Amino acid sequence: MGLTDRLNIKLMEKMRKTNALHYYKEYKENQWKDRETLVEDQRQAFQKLIHHTYDQVPFYQDYMKEHGLTPQSFESLESIQQLPIVGKETMKRHKQKMLANNIEEIGAEEKRTGGSTGEPLKYYVPKLSHSIMWANIWRGWNVTGYKPGDKIAVLAGGSLLSSFDYKRQIYYYLNNWIPFSSYDMSEETMENYITELQKDQVNYLYGYSSSTYELANHILKKGLRVPLNGVITTSEVLLPHYREAIEKAFSCKVFDQYGANDGGVTAFECDQHEGMHIGMERCYVEIIDEEGNPVPDGEEGRILLTDLTNEAMPFIRYEVGDYGAINREPCACGRGLIRFTHIKGRKQEFIYANGGRKVHGGFFSTTFRQYDEVEQFQVVQDKVGAVQIKLKLADRSFESKLEDIKQTIASQADLDSVEITLTEQFEKTKGGKHKFVINNVEEQS
């Protein structure tokens, strides 16, 4: 990384008003602290958050007073179990009461979840949380040798590459990102991606697991190899055959990451590839069973997240919608950070457009998350070039916009038929989870 790249990163930080580089340097050291020190740091951050919510957040003020709780009731991390489990529905229903009375002083920024479970959520995070998020992401990327400012290709959709307008292009340039859209994974587009990876001397690739797998498969079918220093996958489950193909195509190791900015979690694989280390500085993680009881380490359950840094709109015991398990045993790498053993959920699928072209499911979450009137959605495909979209609306007057939305989706995704149905009934997985894309078409070669 040259001087220009370092200066660009600092300029980007100044533009978005973050201090991620500072925390990145701090957290690179933090990860080697002993477990007891990291847990004590968490406990102190949790107590600070509890005092703040008791003083400033109406939802928690009311709850604690109703149940006879005070900040002194929360001396340990485990005492968090006295507070309610909240999900997106609760956050939406009590949104105004979830906001801190002093949110203007905190200087929060509005964000939206990508809607991987079909239920987008508008929320707020302070610049501190945003800075720590990027510090944790960069720390995970650093396992490959990456340093902030190094050139990296980003193969993704709306959750990482929100647009390609002039303003965002400047942002990508300052980050030294080469943006690859996952919405168009046609052979012609993938050929262009390969060319850019080779000509720009890119050493790193960060992308959606399924999209990175599609690109790797294309490379292997062409009998090629595109050597990189490291590939980082995110946003979806990294299946074993995904990892195998990606490592073969790019002649390097794959490092998986997991993140949920609304819940404050970032987790990354180290070179042992035995789970993902959790960014404990920002997030406290619980695993519970279907009745809401804690489960033993190593046992799979529902993931609850508490963002220890978000005082603007606290996410406490937030159910992100995924399942996983925790391992607190020491890792051979020497890091003190606890690990997820695995994550189940957030697997986004493709739909097939005309000519068998694949369109990433994230296209639909990006489309619908901009509308507050859309509470939930699900996309079903039974034949190539056609989809049925189920919508649950908070405001039925939004129906007047549906025809235009259908035409926009058909045009942008290259579909012959887009049908929209209003409903409150959605197909669930065996585990009771909502799938936002259901593709019943046989895989296209």
Domains assigned to the chain: 1-348 (3.40.50.12780), 350-439 (3.30.300.30)
End-to-end CA distance of the chain: 40
Closest CA to 427 of 409, 440, 417, 441: 440
Average pLDDT of adjacent 10-residue blocks, the chain of 445 residues: 78 92 97 97 98 98 98 97 94 94 92 64 93 97 96 87 79 93 86 92 91 92 95 87 94 96 96 98 96 95 96 96 93 98 68 84 79 85 94 89 94 94 76 68 69
pLDDT of residue 58: 98
pLDDT of residue 119: 61
Q: pTM of the entire structure?
A: 0.81
Q: Count CA within 13 A, CB hemisphere, residue 283.
A: 30
Q: What is the DSSP string of 181-246?
A: ESS---HHHHHHHHHHHHHTT--EEEEEHHHHHHHHHHHHHTT-----SEEEEESS---HHHHHHH
Coil, helix or strand at residue 359: strand
297 vs 327: CA distance, rounded Å: 6
pLDDT of residue 44: 98
CB atoms within 10 A of CB 249: 25
pLDDT of residue 433: 44
Q: Report CA torsion sign: 157, 163, 166, 167.
A: negative
- Please enumerate in sequence order all residues whose Cβ is within 8 A of that of 319, keeping only pairs 6 or more positions apart, or say none: 85, 86, 87, 302, 303, 304
Q: Please give the helix or strand (H or E) that residue 442 lies within, else none.
A: none
Burial zone of 151 (CB within 10 Å; 0-12 exposed, 13-18 middle, 19+ buried): middle
129 and 310 Cβ atoms separated by less than 8 Å:
yes
402 and 374 Cβ atoms separated by less than 8 Å:
no
382 vs 377: CA distance, rounded Å: 17
136 vs 268: CA distance, rounded Å: 9
pLDDT of residue 432: 43
